[in-house]
Structure 1
Amino acid sequence: MKTTKSIIRDHCLWAFVGLATVAGAPMAASADVPESDRTIRLTLNDWTGQNLTTNLMGRVLAEMGYSVEYVQADYIAQFTGLASGDLHVAMEIWETTARDQLEEAVAAGDVVDLGETGMHAIEEWWYPSYVEELCPGLPDWEALRDCGDVFATPQTQPDGRYLGGAVTWGGYDEERIEALDLPFEVIHAGTDAALFAEIQAAYQRQTPIIAWVYTPHWAPIQFDGEWIEFPEYTEECYEDPSWGVNPDMAYDCGKPRGWIKKAAWPGLQEEWPAAYEAISNFTIDNETIGTMIGYVDLDGRPLDMVVDEWIAENEDVWSTWIPN
């Protein structure tokens, strides 16, 4: 298993790729805010939902009087920027993929945990319900041992193809396939958009597909399907090869499920205490964000427009994030 330091080293060459500044004068600010004239930098990762939550928070910070920048950053390598103070806030750290990195960074004093967002994370192998006729026994994972050919492509045959997320997302899918002796090969989608475009196309054609699907997202709302039921995740599954159905290998279980948290540069509270409290207070649910992702990814509406509309219609929600 790679350590956090090795993962960060692997990605640090391309961790930070550009800036976009929020324009427009703030609509509301207390006499004590902003406490500093420095700009707060929020990270943007490579999926629509994270861009939405980050822009929502950025808009509220702007309402409070802060100068805000959005900085494109690699999901794992952003921990380096948060530790150094080059980046200040990451709005979505998923327990399913980055719990170890967050806990290690917090323990080292490099990052501050700002608490849960209110969203519940699931990231797992998923298939459309019509596939069950072709692979009897689903959603039990053991059914996959007998029907890899159902999902085979010229690129993977005779093995089935599992359409994974971007390589930077992690997930241990290759290790899971080996540990559970599944006749599958992982083919990684290049981007979040490419992943769900292919899932949508397969669903429309009713062709077999098994892929990485997560929530919050529009796909579990729009499509009838199921997540594969692997042996339930435990810490021992990832850390102790003797645990589980394969006594010689780790990762012989499903992926963890759990919280999505906010994380920050340790100096955030001292530099911008009201912003620190507002970000800590941020909360939203899966259905709200999943619906908004659909507006962007399915309906083609500009992300800024979707954020603007939510802000205009939900002042009773976001105003509770702002400290009195």
Structure 2
Amino acid sequence: MKTSLICGLAGALSLAAMPALAEVESTDPIKLTLHDWTGQLLTTNLMGEVLKKAGYNIDYVQADYIAQFAGLKTGDLHVAMEIWETTGREAMDEATGTGNVQNLGETGMQAIEEWWYPSYMKETCPGLPDWEALNACAEAFSTAETAPMGRYLGGPVTWGGFDDERVEALEMDFEVVHAGTDAALFAELESAYQRKAPIVLWVYAPHWAPTKFDGEFVEFPAYTSECYSDPAWGSNPDMAYDCGKPRGPIWKVAWSGVEDKWPGAHAIIKSFNIDNQEMGDMVAKVDLESEKLDDVVANWMTTNESRWQEWIK
């Protein structure tokens, strides 16, 4: 779902506050990565437009969420605006550990990514949200393709998250089926919810889904770093990932060379901050109200001018 700003809008925003070339450290384009979910496209385009207002040239580059770190380490890619504590922390820590990638701090958004079910499923499986109760009801979540195993609809494979490993480590009677895209994931939720059909799937916040639909996140054993790194931790002495996913901030990261080549942009990216409510509202405008992503970005830029002007001082 690659989205780019329309040429007219991009040109207008780029030229509106373009300073003399001497005011920017380099006219080389700063490459911001785009992924495959609406919120990240919004965050990245917002950041790009703010940087354009400061006079920088911007390129948007489609990249895999986890594999992008290879490009960030070499400087072939420059900025990634959403690294989720829930799924990207290990890759981020490895990259920053090399010294070639910097963590530029929190975006202001707090991440939850976990198994989720509609509340109507508690009539069939009253022990929910406990994961063991879910597992005891696995057949109630089955489909013709997975029966008698339950079906868990995961996110696209590129998102990571260790759901396949989690099912194996906790010896769950579920088969993990990965949605091809973010849009497909939530289209299936919408369809199931309207029919009150059985479903348990990957839901995340900030997003409109936990607000629009009545449901709950499954409660797995609480995450600790040892759960992911030490097989001896937890209920399965031989396997890691026998717990739920971590929760926490959504981070901004950059190639370490950004600080030297574009120090002004580096400071602006560190200043960028937006909260869950803002993001959830914007994602809803794009996904539910069919507004163009470009228009949502332009509206945010207009209504928050005093805010981003502080970032680019």
Q: Which range, TM-score by smaller chain?
A: over 0.9
Deviation at 1:29, TM superposition (A): 4.4
What CA deviation, in whole Å up to 9, does each residue of 1:108-138 have, x standing for no partner? 1121111110100111000011111111110
**Aligned equivalent of 1:242, options 218, 221, 232:** 232
Aligned residue in 2 for 1:134: 124
Distance 1:18 1:217, change over 3 A: closer
Which residue in the other structure is 1:6 paired with? none
Task: Give the 3-state SS of the residue equivalent to 2:249 in structure 1.
Answer: strand
Question: Following the alignment from structure 1 to structure 2, what is the Cα–Cα distance between the partners of residues 18 and 289?
Answer: 17
TM-fit CA distance, 1:101: 1.1
How far is the alpha carbon of 1:167 from its aligned partner? 0.6
Partner letter of residue 236 of structure 1?
Answer: E
Is contact 2:111-2:250 (8 Å) kept? Answer: yes
1:224 counterpart = 2:214: yes
1:27 paired residue among 16, 30, 42: 16
Q: Find the partner of 2:300 among 288, 299, 310.
A: 310
Asked if 1:73 corresponds to 2:59, the answer is no
Q: CA deviation at 1:317?
A: 2.2
Alpha-carbon distance in 1 for matches of 2:274, 2:137 = 39
Match of 2:287 in 1: 297
The one of 178, 182, 193 aligned to 1:203: 193
1:158 is matched with 148
Q: CA deviation at 1:215?
A: 0.7
Q: Which amino acid aligns with 1:125?
A: W
Give the drift of 1:248: 2.4
Q: Given the superposition, is the C-alpha separation of residues 19 and 52 from structure 1 closer, same or farther in structure 2, using an over 3 Å criterion? A: closer
Between the aligned residues of both structures, percent identity stands at 61
Aligned residues: 307
Shift of 1:18: 11
18, 24, 36: which one pairs with 2:26?
Answer: 36
Quick one: distance in 2 between partners of 1:207 and 1:64? 50
CA distance, structure 2, for counterparts of residue 306 and residue 188 of structure 1: 29
The alpha carbon displacement at 1:213 in A equals 0.3
Q: How do residues 41-120 of structure 1 correspond to structure 2 at under 5 angstroms?
A: 41-120=31-110
Offset at residue 23 of structure 1 (A): 3.1
Runs of 4+ in 1 over 6 A off after TM superposition: 17-21
Structure 1 residues without counterparts, runs of 5 or longer: 1-16
* 1:268 alignment counterpart: 258
Kept in 2: contact 1:33–1:66 (CA 8 A): no
What are structure 2's unaligned runs of at least 5 residues?
Answer: none
Letter in 1 for 2:287: D
Provide the residue aligned with 1:212 in structure 2: 202
How far does residue 30 in structure 1 lie from its aligned partner after superposition?
A: 4.9
Instruction: Provide the rounded CA distance (Å) in 2 between the counterparts of 1:299 and 1:18.
Output: 17
CA offsets 1:252-279 (integer angstroms, 9 cap, x no match): 1100111111111111111111111000
TM-score (norm 2): 0.94
Partners of 1:201 and 1:75 in 2: CA distance:
27
Is the counterpart of residue 148 in structure 1 residue 149 in structure 2?
A: no
Task: Indicate if the aligned counterparts of 2:3 and 2:293 stay in contact, CA closer than 8 A.
Answer: no
Kindly indicate whether the alpha-carbon contact (under 8 Å) linking 2:4 and 2:294 is maintained by their aligned counterparts in 1.
no
Cα distance in 1 between the residues matched to 2:133 and 2:222 = 16
Offset at 1:188? 0.2
- Cα separation, 2, equivalents of 1:298 and 1:19: 19
Q: Which residue type is aligned with residue 240 of structure 1?
A: D
**Once superposed, what is the RMSD of the aligned Cα atoms?**
1.6
Q: How far, CA to CA, are the matches of 1:58 and 1:86 in structure 2?
A: 17
- Give the Å deviation of 1:243: 1.2
> For residue 116 of structure 2, what is the amino acid of its counterpart?
W
Give the distance between the partners of 1:284 and 1:221, measured in 2 at CA. Answer: 18
SS at match of 1:26: helix
Q: Is the 8 Å Cα contact of residues 223 and 245 (structure 2) preserved in structure 1?
A: yes
Q: Is the 2:131–2:219 Cα contact (8 Å) retained in structure 1? A: yes
- 1:187 is aligned to 177
TM-fit CA distance, 1:47: 0.7
